[in-house]
A and B are shown apart, each in its own frame.
Chain A
Amino acid sequence: MRDMMAITARPDVISLAGGLPDTSTFPREAFAAEMDRITRNSIAEVLQYGPTEGLDLVREQIVGVMAAEGMRIEAMDVTVTTGGQQAIDLITKVLIDPGDILICDAPTYPGAIPTFCSYEADVIQIECDADGMRIDLLEETLAELASRGRKPKFIYSVPTFQNPGGVTLSLERRQRLVEIARENEILVVEDNPYGLLRYEGETLPTLYSLDGGSYVIYLGTFSKILSAGLRIGWIVSPTPIREKVVLGKQAADLCTSTLTQNFAGEYFRKGHWQEYVDDLIAIYRRRRDAMTGAMAEYFPHGATWNRPEGGLFVWATMPEAINTEDLLARALSKGVAFVPGTSAYLDGRGINSMRLNFSGVTEEQIIEGIRRIGEAAGEQMALYETMTGEMPLPPSDEGQG
Chain B
Amino acid sequence: MKVALLQGGRSLERGVSLRSGARVTEALLDLGHEVEAMDLGPELVSQLGRFAPDTAFIALHGTEGEDGTVQALLELLGIAHTGPRVAACQRCMDKSLAKYIFRENGITTPDWVTYSEASIRDFGAASTFPRAIETVGLPLVAKPASQGSSLGVKVVTTSEEIPAALMTALSYDDRALLETWVSGRELAVSVLGDEVLPVVEAIPTGSNAYDFEARYEIGGAQFVCPADLPEADAAEVKRIALAAYEALGCSGFSRVDLILGDGGPEVLEVNAIPGLTETSLLPQAAEAAGIEFGEMVEKILDLAR
Contact = CB atoms under 8 A, between A and B. Distances in A.
A230 B121 CA distance: 51
Given A383-B121, A386-B126, A4 B167 contact: no
B120 A329 contact: no
A7 B126 contact: no
Nearest to A376: B171
A282 interface: no
A387 interface: yes
A6 B120 contact: no
Contacts of A386: 120-121, 124, 126
Contact of B172 (A1, A329, A387): A329
B131 to A, nearest CB: 15
B163 A4 contact: no
Contact of B12 (A327, A332, A380, A383): A332
B117 interface: yes
Contacts of A329: 12, 151-152, 171-172
B299 interface: no
Given A321-B167, A327-B171, A329-B172, A383 B14 contact: no
B240 to A, nearest CB: 30
Contacts of A347: none
A382 B126 CA distance: 12
A330 B151 CA distance: 12
Contacts of B8: 10
B116 to A, nearest CB: 11
A384 B163 contact: yes
Nearest to B172: A329
Nearest to A380: B167
Interface in A312-330: 321, 323, 326-327, 329-330
Interface string A376-391: 0001101110111000
Nearest to B63: A333
Contact of B151 (A4, A379, A384): A4
13 contacts: A1-B213, A3-B14, A4-B151, A7-B10, A7-B12, A323-B167, A330-B171, A332-B12, A380-B167, A384-B167, A386-B120, A387-B120, A387-B129
B120 A383 contact: yes
Nearest to B213: A1
Contact of B16 (A1, A3, A326, A387): A3
B197 interface: no
B179 interface: no
Contacts, number: 69
Contacts of B171: 326-327, 329-330, 380
Contacts of B129: 387
Interface residues of A, number: 24
B242 to A, nearest CB: 30
Nearest to B152: A329
B13 interface: yes
A31 to B, nearest CB: 30
A5 B151 CA distance: 13
A342 to B, nearest CB: 11
A12 interface: yes
Contacts of A379: 117
Main secondary structure of the interface of B (DSSP, over half): helix
Residue picked from A5, A330, A383, most chain B C-beta under 10 Å = A383
Contacts of A330: 171-172
B164 interface: yes
Interface in B134-157: 149, 151-152
Interface residues of B, number: 29
Closest 10 CB pairs of A and B: A6-B15, A326-B171, A3-B15, A387-B163, A6-B14, A329-B171, A387-B126, A330-B171, A7-B14, A4-B12
B108 interface: no
A350 to B, nearest CB: 16
Contact of B168 (A5, A10, A326): A326
Nearest to A332: B12
B167 A383 contact: yes
Interface string A359-400: 000000000000000000001101110111000000000000
Contacts of A10: 8, 10, 14, 41
Given A7-B10, A384-B163, 18 more contacts: A3-B14, A4-B15, A6-B14, A7-B11, A10-B8, A12-B41, A326-B168, A329-B151, A329-B152, A329-B172, A383-B120, A383-B166, A383-B167, A384-B167, A386-B120, A386-B121, A387-B126, A388-B126
Contacts of B164: 321, 323
A5 B15 CA distance: 8
Nearest to A386: B121
A362 to B, nearest CB: 20
B177 interface: no
Contact of A6 (B18, B126, B149, B152): B18
A277 to B, nearest CB: 35
A329 B81 CA distance: 29
Nearest to B15: A6
A326 B167 contact: yes
Contacts of B163: 384, 387-388
Contacts of B11: 7
B165 to A, nearest CB: 10
B13 A3 contact: yes
B168 A387 contact: no
Interface string A219-238: 00000000000000000000
A318 to B, nearest CB: 12
A199 B56 CA distance: 52
A2 B218 CA distance: 12
Contacts of A388: 126, 163
B154 to A, nearest CB: 10
A186 B129 CA distance: 55
Contacts of B18: 6
A330 B124 CA distance: 22
Contacts of A383: 117, 120-121, 166-167, 170
